[in-house]
């Protein structure tokens, strides 16, 4: 009897844990100025727009760096490439705290953090592919997504609490920087490139070169459909988290109500990203759970648009977050499978790039509200229509096994 040459190692959970930790801390460093924009502007002696540049610099750096970083991840390996990112994060995270009230120094350190981010975000599906069986990979990506959401929640909630307790902005940033440095050190100490033997049967871990893989990915129709879906999905997510107060405020809800609604939206997203990918892995079905995510998000969006009752608003936020956020980890694994043999870092990098570019949604929503007396209802209705469009796009997608079979048949017919 031929012996299997693949094996799952318990150490995969250690590797996943340190990857989750570094992604959690980079999110804290990214978002931590957003909830204290007014106080930070006063502290640094600049306008609120300049404080917004702290978060926007991450997007500005990600767009040109995503593809080169994906090439590095696929060329020099997962651990060496991510190590570059975590070293940058640890060093500049601490230095930003030591910059005190000097805005220029704090901004320069933020640029260093922004350069680090693509090394961390583009590695998600690579970790899953190198260490996990195909039946566990969406779950692994889902757990990293959960870590990202938790990091965002910590940055949004803890930062104002620290300031209320009398801790200065620089001291708060130094604390976050030290946590980031600890997560970086743990990654450098505990992460390994790959297990002694692959976690899957021979052939499932073989990938093309990055350039060839990039060319191949861009010829895969279902991958383009998912890029459109994730562009809309993350755009709506960013728009809701940014404008939630002005969206529900005209209906008589307070800023405190908006904060709770936003928290429910985020927490339910954590549950969605942690639960639905598990079922997707167990059944090895991607399309049906992508459909479920989009279908479930639509009534949530309608509720957030029109609900005048507070409890109905909270239920809508929970439904919206739970289903919308689950689309991301399941879709990432779907893309890694349907674009085979494109390297995971390449497909992941393109998805993250689409997600970063979707921040234009935030500005489109504000721009559209300007035509309707600062009402966000038209922007919310536009988002609902786009979710319905996404539903049609997902309906045209095929599960990876079905796509591979149909693609093989098409090639056979063209060669006949």
**pLDDT tens digits for 32-42?**
887 787 788 89
Mean local confidence (pLDDT), 147-151: 89
Q: Select from 66, 121, 65, 112 the least CA-distant residue to 87.
A: 112
Mean local confidence (pLDDT), 315-332: 90
**pLDDT tens digits for 10-22?**
899 999 999 999 9
Q: Mean pLDDT across the chain, nearest whole number?
A: 85
Looking at the structure, give the CATH architecture of the domain made up of residues 12-190.
Answer: Up-down Bundle (1.20)
Report which of residues 405 and 313 the model is more confident about. 313
Q: How confident is the model at residue 258 (pLDDT cuts 50, 70, 90)?
A: confident
CA of 8: how far to CAs of 131, 136, 170, 322, 337, in Å? 7, 11, 44, 30, 19
Q: What CA–CA distance (Å, rounded) separates 297 from 289?
A: 12
The CATH number fitting domain 210-407, selected from 1.10.10.10, 3.40.50.970, 1.20.1250.20, 3.30.420.40: 1.20.1250.20
Q: How confident is the model at residue 206 (pLDDT cuts 50, 70, 90)?
A: very low
Non-local CB neighbours of 64 within 8 Å, separated by 6+ positions: none
Q: What are phi and psi of 396, to 5 degrees?
A: -90, -10
In the prediction, which pLDDT does 320 show? Answer: 94
CATH 1.20.1250.20: which residues of the chain? 12-190, 210-407
In the prediction, which pLDDT does 268 show? Answer: 92
| pTM attached to this predicted model | 0.76
- Do the Cβ atoms of 41 and 103 come closer than 8 Å? no
Query: With helix as H, strand as E and coil as C, how does the chain read?
Result: CCCCCCCCCCCHHHHHHHHHHHHHHHHHHHHCCHHHHHHHHHHHCCCHHHHHHHHHHHHHHHHHHHHHHHHHHHHCCHHHHHHHHHHHHHHHHHHHHHCCCCHHHHHHHHHHHHHHHHHHHCCHHHHHHHHCCCCCHHHHHHHHHHHHHHHHHHHHHHHHHHHHCCCCHHHHHHHHHHHHHHHHHHHHHHCCCCCCCCCCCCCCCCCCCHHHHHHHHCCCHHHHHHHHHHHHHHHHHHHHHHHHHHHHHHHCCCHHHHHHHHHHHHHHHHHHHHHHHHHHHHHCCCHHHHHHHHHHHHHHHHHHHHCCCHHHHHHHHHHHHHHHHHHHHHHHHHHHHHCCCCCHHHHHHHHHHHHHHCCHHHHHHHHHHHHHCCCCHHHHHHHHHHHHHHHHHHHCCCCHHHHHHHHHHHHHHHHC
CA of 173: how far to CAs of 164, 170, 202, in Å? 15, 5, 46
**pLDDT tens digits for 342-391?**
777 777 778 878 877 777 777 788 788 778 787 888 989 999 999 999 99
In the prediction, which pLDDT does 406 show? Answer: 59
């Amino acid at each position: 009897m031929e012996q299997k040459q693949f094996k799952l190692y318990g150490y995969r959970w250690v590797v996943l844990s340190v990857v989750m930790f570094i992604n959690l801390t980079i999110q804290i460093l990214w978002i931590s100025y957003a909830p204290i924009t007014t106080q930070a502007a006063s502290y640094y002696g600049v306008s609120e727009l300049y404080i917004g540049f702290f978060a926007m610099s991450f997007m500005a750096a990600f767009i040109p760096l995503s593809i080169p970083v994906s090439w590095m991840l696929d060329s020099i390996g997962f651990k060496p490439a991510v190590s570059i990112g975590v070293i940058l994060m640890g060093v500049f995270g601490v230095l930003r705290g030591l910059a005190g009230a000097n805005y220029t120094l704090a901004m320069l350190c933020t640029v260093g953090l922004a350069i680090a981010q693509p090394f961390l975000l583009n590695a998600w599906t690579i970790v899953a592919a190198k260490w996990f069986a195909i039946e566990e990979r969406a779950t692994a990506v889902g757990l990293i997504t959960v870590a990202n959401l938790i990091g965002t929640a910590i940055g949004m909630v803890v930062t104002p609490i620290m300031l209320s307790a009398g801790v200065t902005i620089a001291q708060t940033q130094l604390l976050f920087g030290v946590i980031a440095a600890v997560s970086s050190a743990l990654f450098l100490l505990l992460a390994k490139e790959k297990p002694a033997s692959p976690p899957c049967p021979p052939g499932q871990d073989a990938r093309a070169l990055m350039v060839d893989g990039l060319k191949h990915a861009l010829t895969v129709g279902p991958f383009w459909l998912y890029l459109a879906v994730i562009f809309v999905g993350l755009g709506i997510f960013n728009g809701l988290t940014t404008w939630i107060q002005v969206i529900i405020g005209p209906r008589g809800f307070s800023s405190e109500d908006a904060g709770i609604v936003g928290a429910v939206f985020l927490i339910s997203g954590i549950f969605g990203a942690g639960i639905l990918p598990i079922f997707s892995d167990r059944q090895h079905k991607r399309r049906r759970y992508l459909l479920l995510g989009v279908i479930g998000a639509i009534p949530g969006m309608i509720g957030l648009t029109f609900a005048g009752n507070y409890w109905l608003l909270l239920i809508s936020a929970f439904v919206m977050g739970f289903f919308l956020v689950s689309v991301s980890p399941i879709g990432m694994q779907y893309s890694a499978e349907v674009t085979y043999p494109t390297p995971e870092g390449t497909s992941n990098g393109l998805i993250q790039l689409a997600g970063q570019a979707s921040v234009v949604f935030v500005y489109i929503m504000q721009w559209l509200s300007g035509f309707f007396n600062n009402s966000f209802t038209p922007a919310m209705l536009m988002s609902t229509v786009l979710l319905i469009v996404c539903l049609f796009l997902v309906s045209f997608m095929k599960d990876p096994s079905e796509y591979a079979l149909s693609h093989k048949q098409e090639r056979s017919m063209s060669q006949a």
